Structure 1
Amino acid sequence: MKKSWALSAALLLAPQPVHWRFVPVLNPDGVFSQPPSRTNAHGVDLNRNFPTPDWERDAAAYWQKRTNRDPRRWPGPQPLSEPESRFLHDQMQSFRPHLIVAIHAPYGVLDFDGPSVPPSRLGRLYLDQVGIFPGSLGNYGGVHKGVPVVTIELPNAMRTPLDAEMRQMWLDLLRWMAEKVPGESR
């Protein structure tokens, strides 16, 4: 029932076919550690490990000065040093998306990086751009590769939104995509 509803919504709202590639969990080490962790088994924040321009100059300096060497935000020894970030980078290279939707926690906001006009809200999450960080997916994909990156920052990593809230977020995303995301095959 849910699959047919989502398919019907996509068909009604998308002016052309939509092709999705899902990566259900990019950081299984973090998800399954006790307690759950932002970093992988090597202690690297995967969302600071992408090859943004000037990563070598900016990532370590940002980590040292802006985060006070917070171990949860360590960018790693070099860009794409981690198998998880290399995997996502390879997926981006082969699939060539017109949009990236990332799900994070715990800020409870909607973030956006890249070209296009950002969505103002998805469900109860309102746009509140959190900034550009050396090595982040938003910086790499949205700013430097020109692929809009919508980051859904859930309020809690351990609790998914209710079905009605997810449905509204999905509808809001599809409406925004139909109006604002260019591309022949999303």
Structure 2
Amino acid sequence: MRLPWTAALLFASVLIAHSAQAAGPCDDFVRKLPNLKQSLCEAAQLQATPARSVRGQTLWMRDVRPEVAQQRVLVLGAIHGDELSSTSVALHWIRMAEETNAPWSQAIHWRFVPALNPDGLLSSPPSRVNANGVDLNRNFPTPFWERDAKVYWEKRTRKDPRRWPGPKPLSEPESRFLHEEMQRFKPHLIVSIHAPYGVLDFDGPSVPPSKLGRLYLDQVGIFPGSLGNYGGVHKGVPVVTIELPNAMRTPLDAEMRQMWLDLLRWMSERVPPNGSTGLARTP
């Protein structure tokens, strides 16, 4: 039986969308992101997770894991979709995680989520918020979220739509995925890549890194519902927030490598191997 042309068109569009998802994100990423070649993206070997964004796009992940791992580190890009350079840097760092010969890098299980907000990242123009208009970095379940997040948004941001925390904590599929991934993976450290303020921020226990490459520590405080507040302050997992200098351009390749090496060196000194984390204590 022949389908009506409207049904056939819908069926074809579903097949095309499914095919694009199955082929991986690199065509979209290379077309959209700065300083990203097809070969580097494909070499990252991103794996599809079961999670989907508001618009049904796959959330991609990559593990780089030695045979014996003493530390678990979660690296995130594009919590804010208009910070394109953050995803590019995360993809460059996947290659470095595989190649780095520093002795202190050999026992780290890296988990990369290079684009937590694909709807915002791939929209035109790219958007800080997700497809529901929620700032994912204000949507985590910090204590007293229902009171503090609303007050902060209304009073401090004057209801800035780019910083809307959402109707309730973990209201978004992207933030729920990350929250669940933190519970499953139980990282000893979270590295969240942002732009464009050109500084380092830090939340949680341990002594923060004084610098990574040319980025120097400048702690800006905590916000209701932010990942730094939730992970670093509430759960006791150190959160290094990297603010790249430009949302549309990555640092030079040599600078990205220096940031990576500085991160490894700081971890070797300040992040205890096989140490307990707040998330590890959470049932």
The TM-score with structure 1 as length reference comes to 0.93
Mapped contact 1:19–1:185 kept (Cα < 8 A): no
2:194 counterpart residue number: 104
1:143 counterpart residue number: 233
Residues in 2 aligned to 1:56 and 1:47: alpha-carbon distance in whole angstroms: 15
Asked if 1:13 corresponds to 2:104, the answer is yes
Number of positions where the alignment pairs a residue of Structure 1 with one of Structure 2: 182
1:89 counterpart residue number: 179
Equivalent position to 2:150, from 56, 60, 64: 60
Q: CA RMSD in A?
A: 1.7
C-alpha distance 35-13 of structure 1, shift in aligned 2 (>3 A): same
Q: Which moved more, 1:157-166 or 1:87-96?
A: 157-166
Residues in 2 aligned to 1:4 and 1:96: alpha-carbon distance in whole angstroms: 19
C-alpha distance 185-162 of structure 1, shift in aligned 2 (>3 A): farther
Counterpart residue identity of residue 7, structure 1: T
> Which structure 2 residues correspond to residues 158-177 of structure 1 after superposition, within 5 A?
158-177=248-267
Q: Which structure has greater strand proportion?
A: 2
Asked if 1:125 corresponds to 2:197, the answer is no
C-alpha distance 66-76 of structure 1, shift in aligned 2 (>3 A): same
Mapped contact 1:63–1:74 kept (Cα < 8 A): yes
Which stretches of structure 1, 4 residues or more, deviate above 4 A after TM superposition?
2-5
C-alpha distance 63-164 of structure 1, shift in aligned 2 (>3 A): same
| Ranges in structure 2 where 5+ consecutive residues have no aligned partner | 1-94, 277-283
Bigger relative contact order (CA 8 A; separation at least 6): 1
Mapped contact 1:17–1:185 kept (Cα < 8 A): no
C-alpha distance 117-4 of structure 1, shift in aligned 2 (>3 A): closer
1:69 counterpart residue number: 159
Shift of residue 74, structure 1, vs aligned partner: 0.2
Rg: which structure is higher? 2
Counterpart residue identity of residue 168, structure 1: Q
2:137 counterpart residue number: 47
The percentage of counterpart residues that share the same residue type is: 80
| Ranges in structure 1 where 5+ consecutive residues have no aligned partner | none
Counterpart residue identity of residue 111, structure 1: D
Mapped contact 1:113–1:138 kept (Cα < 8 A): yes
Shift of residue 5, structure 1, vs aligned partner: 7.4
1:24 counterpart residue number: 114
Residues in 2 aligned to 1:53 and 1:5: alpha-carbon distance in whole angstroms: 38
Shift of residue 63, structure 1, vs aligned partner: 0.2
SS at match of 1:22: strand
SS at match of 2:175: helix
Mapped contact 1:18–1:185 kept (Cα < 8 A): no
Mapped contact 2:97–2:110 kept (Cα < 8 A): no
Shift of residue 77, structure 1, vs aligned partner: 0.2
Shift of residue 30, structure 1, vs aligned partner: 1.3
Counterpart residue identity of residue 192, structure 2: A
